[in-house]
Amino acid sequence: MKQKSLLVKAGRNFKNYNGSMNPPVYHSSTILFPTYMDYLSAANGNSIYDVTHDGITRDYSYNSVGSPTLHYFANALAEIEGRGHALIYPSGLCALTFTILIFSKSGSHVLIQDNSYYRLKRFAKNECPKRGIDVTFYDPTQSIARLIRDNTSLIMIETPGSVTFEISDIEHIVKIAKMHNIITVCDNSWSTPLLFKPLNHGIDVALYSVTKYLSGHSDLLMGAIIAEGDTFNLMYENHKYYGITAQSYDCYLAHRGLRTLYIRMTQHQKTAMQLAKFLETHHKVNRVLYPALTSHPQHELWKKYFKGASSVFSIILDRQYSDEELSNMVDHMKVFAIGASWGGCDSLILPLTYERSIMKPDHVGSCIRISCGLEDPVDLIEDLNTALTRI
């Protein structure tokens, strides 16, 4: 089935829910069994209610490892990725932090991008040292060969990176990782499986903030990973031991979001390109950091790996502005709203003053992140133009 069709159909089967087109939202903590023997089998991975049918031995005896609504959604994600199995987390951040804890132990060394999602960096800086885990923050535009140590257990990738949108050389990282038996994880929230499929490039774990494009409506927080074989089994064990899950209604909403992912991403991309091109010509904008633009330093690398671009990017203004000046710019916009996150229907704008340390030397001006929603690009351009005139 073509990706477009698969996105509509994935994970649903009306025959399993009495002909209802949509999966039921199961509100239940407890699962009831006709007999004790049925309960025992479910605890050992052989449930009379198995809804995954993917050969993985799971504990199905209690919903702390997920309700059927959660499993329908997880099935859909694995179908869209085209391989592996999915695990659902209460947030993207939770998926990131638990993944680090699974693949590192006291005495091990982890590589994390210097331009990665800032809450991940905050976790790495504050929580990893307490657990005896050494972290190196690496520049994804440079070779990682000399950063590898005997105790390196994990490489975290985020391509493009948050805020500054550098593209990683996946082939190079995967080659080095495989040589040294290091697990690779790719935060693929920006692309979704529609534009890039990490596992097809030798990455061990594809990771998503479902909160963003996958669910697509800014109405829930959720994370997910997709992996195969021993890597998946290890992650599943951890999932089970820690009681990580998400609520059924949220899983239903996220699953519903998938059906419009294709048309949303198509529109998001069109709008972002128009806005990026407009901003590139604006005299108060020094740089537009959007990999789909030919002016982007890793544009060729982006073309090599990605089928398209989503709608989050940053701009560097012509100089440093004070918080008051930036506030004056973004406070009175008509369509853009001020807020963290991205990937929903509403356009968002946010000056990012806290990440200045990773800016390249030629990025001298203030940085503003833009997430293009589904409003009319004409309104968005007018809104940006007025705001830039105001600053």
Ligand X SMILES: *Cc1c(COP(=O)(O)O)cnc(C)c1O
- Among residues 79, 81, 158, 250, the one that binds ligand X under rule CB under 6 A: 158
> In 3D, which of 119, 163, 166 has the Cα closest to residue 138?
166
Tell the residue number behind the tokens 């229907």, with chain if given: 345
Residue 144 vs 221, nearer CB to ligand X = 221
Min dist CB 3 to ligand X, Å, is 22
Q: Is 51 in the site for ligand X (CB under 6 A)?
A: no
Q: Is 80 in the site for ligand X (CB under 6 A)?
A: no
Binding part of the chain for ligand X, among 6-14, 23-31, 208-216, 236-244 by CB under 6 A, reads: 208-216
Min dist CB 193 to ligand X, Å, is 15
Residue 69 vs 191, nearer CB to ligand X = 191
* 48-73 burial: b if 16+ Cβ within 10 Å, else e: eebbbeeeeebbbbebebbbbbbbbb
Segment 178 to 197, residues that bind ligand X, using CB under 6 A: 187, 189
> 39, 49 in Cβ contact below 8 A?
no
Min dist CB 386 to ligand X, Å, is 27
Q: Is 92 in the site for ligand X (CB under 6 A)?
A: yes
Binding part of the chain for ligand X, among 4-12, 90-98, 290-298, 365-373 by CB under 6 A, reads: 90-98
Min dist CB 343 to ligand X, Å, is 8
Give the distance from CA 88 to its chain's centroid.
Answer: 12
Residue number with the smallest Cβ distance to ligand X: 92
Q: Is 113 in the site for ligand X (CB under 6 A)?
A: no
Nearest-10 Cα torsion for 137, 141, 145, 147: -10
- Among residues 69, 108, 162, 314, the one that binds ligand X under rule CB under 6 A: 162
Binding part of the chain for ligand X, among 92-100, 122-130, 243-251, 371-379 by CB under 6 A, reads: 92-100
Taking CA atoms, 199 is separated from 123, 202, 206, in Å, by 25, 5, 7
| Residue 97, C-beta contacts closer than 8 angstroms, at least 6 positions apart | 120, 123, 127
| Residue 281, C-beta contacts closer than 8 angstroms, at least 6 positions apart | none
Tell the residue number behind the tokens 């918080």, with chain if given: 323
Two tokens at 134? 């050494």
- Among residues 195, 203, 221, 273, the one that binds ligand X under rule CB under 6 A: 221
- Residues contributing to the site for ligand X (CB under 6 A): 91-93, 96, 117, 158, 162, 187, 189, 209, 211-212, 221, 223, 341
